[in-house]
Amino acid sequence: MTRALSWFLSLLALGALGLMLGIFTWQSGPVWQAEGIGYLTGGRWFFRQHQFGALPMIYGSVVVSLVALFLAAPIGLGAAVFTAEYLPPRARMPVKTLIELLAGIPSVVYGLLGILLLRDWVYERFARFDPLSGDTLLTAGVLLAVMILPTIVTLGDDALRAVPAAQRRAARALGLLRAESILHVVLPQARRGLGAALLLATGRALGETVAVFLVVGRQDNNLPSPWYSLRPLLESGQMLTTKLGGAETHIAWSDPVHWAAIVGLGLILLALTGALALFGAAFGRRSDA
């Protein structure tokens, strides 16, 4: 009886997950039919004209996440090295707890802080590039960097601590300095776990909706030209998540193709974040095998 109950509940939960996948795939069908591969590669999204190209949003999501990673990874990994290698044991628990607590700040609160603190700062700092407002992809990227910082520190710390103490001891006993044991013994052995930490943090960044919604500008069809130009960073942009969180989702229901396009964005997001989560888990677990 207990066994049957466990199976039932598990299948209910996993069934919900499967249902979600199924619904997203099925309901996005019409837009794949209408646009084909152009859905992913098209750079124009004008829903009234039934033109649906998701590339600007994919670009927005990816570039904002990369900016966040670029800013947060060095600081986060440095902080992780500090907590794992330099912090005395009695201070570890309080500091780790503090960082995990701070990781729990809700995204809407971050959004509020972004509006207050970050918008004007970006607008003024980059004034010579003549931005139209402080709501840009860069603003979103910087905000996201602060949001994923605690995640990187916590997961990075775990990865470094997974390296056995005997390795550090053996290195120090040879006469190596602490920094040398960190650089030549601990970091190389923690590579896998640190990579997993960054992958998981990137996944979090890609999926963030509300905080970036408030500061990214939500301007469609912003693609760089030429492709390597950094100009869009200082312009308002759109991300997969911010489009989903916007008004279109509510009004698209009545139009099958429009709705399919919206759900399709969800499917792309699901594929990207799901893949990152899976890679991150696989990467990380092999390091402690």
Distance in Å, CB of 9 to another protein, minimum: 3
Q: Which helix (H) or strand (E) holds 147?
A: helix 137-161
The span from the CA of 66 to the CA of 44, in Å, is: 23
In the complex with another protein, the residue whose CB is nearer, 23 or 132, is 23
Give the Cα separation of 204 and 232 in Å (integer).
22
Q: How far is the CB of 226 from another protein (least distance, A)?
A: 31
Strand residue runs (E) in the chain: 45-46, 51-52
> Shortest Cβ distance from residue 111 to another protein (Å)?
6
Considering the complex, state which of residue 2 and residue 225 has its C-beta at the smaller distance from another protein: 2
Residues in contact with 117: Cβ distance below 8 Å, sequence separation at least 6, in sequence order: none
Of how many residues is the chain composed?
A: 289
Side-chain-side CA neighbours of residue 163 (13 Å): 26
User: By C-beta, is 14 or 230 nearer to another protein?
Assistant: 14
Question: In the complex with another protein, which residue's Cβ is closer, 106 or 129?
Answer: 106
Q: Determine how many CB atoms are found less than 10 A away from the CB of residue 12.
A: 9
| DSSP bridge partners of 151 | none
Helix (H, G, I), strand (E, B) or coil at 37: coil
Give the span between the Cα atoms of 25 and 211, in whole angstroms: 27
Considering the complex, state which of residue 21 and residue 44 has its C-beta at the smaller distance from another protein: 21
As measured in angstroms, the least distance from the Cβ of 231 to another protein is 26
State which amino acid sits at residue 39: Y
Q: Considering beta carbons, is residue 6 or 229 the nearer one to another protein?
A: 6
User: Tokens 């963030």 sit at which residue?
Assistant: 208
Of 43 and 113, nearer to another protein (C-beta) is 113
* Smallest distance from another protein to CB 57, Å: 13
Work out whether the CA dihedral 111, 148, 136, 257 comes out positive or negative: negative
Amino acid residing at 4:
A
Residue 2 CB, nearest distance to another protein (Å)? 4
Compute CA distances 224 → 3, 45, 136, 139, 205, whole Å: 56, 15, 13, 17, 21
Task: Provide the minimum distance between the beta carbon of 29 and another protein in the complex, in angstroms, as a whole number.
Answer: 14
Report in angstroms how near the CB of residue 263 gets to another protein at its nearest: 7
Whole-angstrom distance, CA of residue 18 vs CA of residue 35: 26
The reply to whether omega before 150 is within 30° of 0 (cis) is no
Residue (128 or 250) nearer to another protein, CB:
250
